[in-house]
Amino acid sequence: MLRQIREAMAGSIPAQAKLTAVARTIAASMVAEVCSIYLRRASGEMELFATEGLDPGAVHVTRMRPGEGLIGEIMRLGRPLNLSDAPSHPAFSYRPETGEDPFHAFMGVPLLRGGRAIGVLVVQNRTSRVYAEDDVEDLQIIAMVLAEMVAGGDVLSREELKDVEIAPRRSERLKGARFADGLAFGIAVLHEAPVAVGRLLADDVQAEEARLSSAIARLQAQIDAMLEGHEGIAGASYDVLESYRMMAHSRSWNHSLQDAVHSGLTAEAAVERVRSEHRAGIGQARDPYLRERLHDLEDLNDRLLRHLSGDGEKARVLPENAILIARNLGPADLLEYDRKRLRGLLLEEGSSASHAAIVARAMDIPCVGRLAGLRDRVSEGDPVIVDAESGEAYLRPRPDVVEAITARIGARAERRAEFARLKDTPAFTRDGAKITLLMNAGLAVDLDTLPDTGAEGIGLFRTEFQFMVSEDLPRFSAQTDLYARVMAAAGGRPVIFRTLDLGGDKVLPYLQAEREDNPALGWRAVRMGLDRPALLRMQLRALIAAVAGRPLSVMFPLVTSVEEFRAARALVDREVAWAVRRGRPAPSRLEVGAMIEAPSLIWHLDALLPLTDFVSVGTNDLMQYMFAADRGNPRVSDRYDPLSPPALRALKTIRDACAESGTPVSVCGEIAGRPLEAFALIALGFDRLSMPPAGVGPVKRMVLSCDRGAASRGLASLLSSSAGSVRGEVEALARKIAVAV
Ligand code: PEP
Ligand code: MG
């Protein structure tokens, strides 16, 4: 049949006649009385483009609104509809002009291209019958060939295609969530890149079968090797790799591919057909596990296409100003792209605590996530804007939007330049208080930014990031190497290493097997470290080895009780003694601190502080526990305001207790990097703030313009307010005393 279609397409007859000839050929070979082809107009309407069996007068006249009728239903579902009696289906929409009254049996399949439905192919019969599975499969293969031909301009001329939506063309704005701050304008690059399928119909079926078998064998061997070496598919854990391997060897996948080749398709077209089905399925799958598996399968199909083209192992080359588009990314995926060419990142899924978001922030790549429907709405090469200030993405933006964003990108660059000029200016308030500004870091890529920020050191080094971006548990030597690099990059500036803060939203498949109902309140941070002392001790040993006789500052996350801190501190002392016994240098100065992140400690500071050398307030966690609002859940995370009397009073209690006992204290949550919140912290008396690198410049500008005495006096009266938030009042205070927030 495919050959007959090809013949129908050949020759120089007008396009409309060609399309009608195709419909006729399909009807004849499917033994159907009707065959119709609908294509989607840019308006979203589905228009009858050709028919055999319906009234020819309906061609280009019958149009269905988006979602209307059985055609709309097929477009919506992205999969076939096989009905013995179409008129009795609830979605059926009667169109008298088509003369379809006598026809009952109905089979329609979407014309899928790159995972999107661009039209619908329908066959109909008078008698009520259910078409066989084989018929559905045949029609899907034909639909795929037809979709490629239509999109490739083989059937309709450019002029005729002008208003047919082969790929999305309208400007769109999608609302998502901010994962990493910034703005970018560039060209869409799909992470799961479509590999162009050239030839569709095989000249020699046997030769195609041989090509397919050989490519599958190479793919399977590649995945087996990945599993053995644990390397390769970035970020995938062993379990994921194992299930991936099982899929590559799965008989049903192999059979679907072989069947498609057997029917006359080239190996590439066979992969594309199987993939199109899966992609359409992904859109339907509600179960997250199933969705993940379908994604894996899609990825396998991509890999197989690359093997067929001989590019199985090659890396991607990016355009100058690439915006990466993906459903989600594994921890190391982003690191594989050329940073110099990567301007931004748009994700369909993910969360701000997801690996991709963490790495994007560390690499200073603007990122917006949770953009529903993103992958279906953007094509490779589309111009796109990442607006991570507002958490939006603009697809194929209008020129005025591009102009506005370009101006904002320019203004941002100017502000950055201004902050860069302040880099070496010490941060003193106008009334002479020295404020120490430090930066938070966690990956090797962060270290590069230290000299440019003007930060005086690293106030929080999140050691768990190394674990999160690894396939498996980083060895002792890898840990020591990283800590030594951090020390070298700091070049004598202070560094506070935080021990592993895993669990909660940072789950590692190789460490935590059990699922918890309430992970944020579960087995995490120092709790895990104390229950698995071998892991914590190995880390402490690596830290002691890395500082090699220089000063060491280490702090423990989510300490909840004085007992926990005592036990954790004892482990440090033990490891130092162990090193000394072996003749290795002890740190020249050892400082052990606690993070204050659990509200319980606020009422036990008198017992805790004498045991600590310093403390650091982790406001991200402290606030989520105080306000019982999951920091990673956008539905609740913004309901409370850190600039509220309860939050500010809690912070004041901590700062006053530290002042009284002479314990150095810093704030290292995200709020320390926001000028207005940092203004309030300084007014409360804090003088050490550790923040994301991008916060240092704006906060320094605020400090330089701030009269701390006036700020403290102004803030004092707000602490007893009965309002849920005093943000407006804090803003007014900053304005009144001319602070640049
Ligand atoms: C915090 O909780 O404020 C903090 C700094 O730690 P993390 O964000 O890594 O939990
Ligand atoms: Mg924390």
Number of the ligand closest to the Cα of 619: 1
Alpha helices in 309-398 (DSSP H): 355-362, 374-377
Of all protein residues, the one whose alpha carbon is nearest to atom 4 of ligand 1 is 618
- Does 238 score more than 90 pLDDT? no
Q: Which ligand has its closest atom nearest to the C-alpha of 460?
A: 1
Residue 174: what pLDDT?
A: 95
**Ligand 1 pocket, 597 CB below 6 A?**
yes
pLDDT(235) > 50 = no
Q: Which of 35, 278, 355, 706 is labelled catalytic?
A: 355
pLDDT for position 87? 93
Report the top-level CATH class of 205-309.
mainly alpha
Q: Domain segments of the chain: what residues? A: 2-152, 172-193+316-412, 205-309, 457-594
| Distance in angstroms (rounded) separating the CA atoms of residues 298 and 331 | 19
Instruction: Supply the pLDDT for residue 467.
Output: 87
Asked whether the beta carbons of 35 and 52 are under 8 A apart, the reply is yes
Using DSSP's 3-state secondary structure scheme, residue 123 falls into strand
Can you name the CATH fold of 2-152?
Beta-Lactamase (3.30.450)
> Could you tell me the fold of the domain covering 172-193+316-412?
Glucose Oxidase; domain 1 (3.50.30)
Ligand nearest to the CA of 667: 1
Q: Does the CB atom of residue 272 touch ligand 1 within 6 A?
A: no
Closest by CA position to 647, among listed 615, 602, 692, 712: 602
Structure confidence at residue 196 (pLDDT): 58
**For residue 230, pLDDT beyond 50:** no
Would you state the pLDDT for residue 317? 79
Distance, CA of 261 to CA of 263 (rounded, Å): 5
pLDDT of 8? 74
- pLDDT of 199: 73
- Tell me if domain 2-152 and domain 205-309 are identical in fold: no
| pLDDT surpasses 60 at 605 | yes
Q: Answer yes or no: is the C-beta of 631 below 6 A from any ligand 1 atom.
A: no
- For residue 619, the ligand 1 atom closest to its alpha carbon is 3
Q: Which CATH number describes the domain made up of 457-594?
A: 3.20.20.60
| 355 tagged catalytic | yes
Atom of ligand 1 minimally distant from the CA of 464: 9
CA distance 243 to 180: 31
- Residue (of 158, 163, 135) closest to 35 by Cα position: 135
Q: Which two tokens stand for residue 176?
A: 């998502």
Residue nearest to atom 8 of ligand 1 (CA): 620
In whole angstroms, what is the distance from residue 219 CA to residue 305 CA?
10
Kindly state the average pLDDT of the residues 65-76: 90
pLDDT band at 498 (very low <50, low <70, confident <90, very high): very high
Beta strands in 46-150 (DSSP E): 46-52, 63-64, 81-83, 105-113, 116-125
Q: Which of 277-291, 500-514, 608-622 has the lowest mean pLDDT?
A: 277-291
Residue with tokens 């059990």: 514
Where residue 488 falls (left for φ over 0; alpha for ψ -120 to 50; beta otherwise) is: alpha
Q: Measured from the CA of 557, which atom of ligand 1 is nearest?
A: 6
Question: Which tens digits make up the pLDDT trace of 679-713?
Answer: 999 999 999 999 988 899 999 999 999 999 999 99
668 Cβ inside 6 Å of ligand 1:
yes
Does the pLDDT value for residue 93 go beyond 80? yes
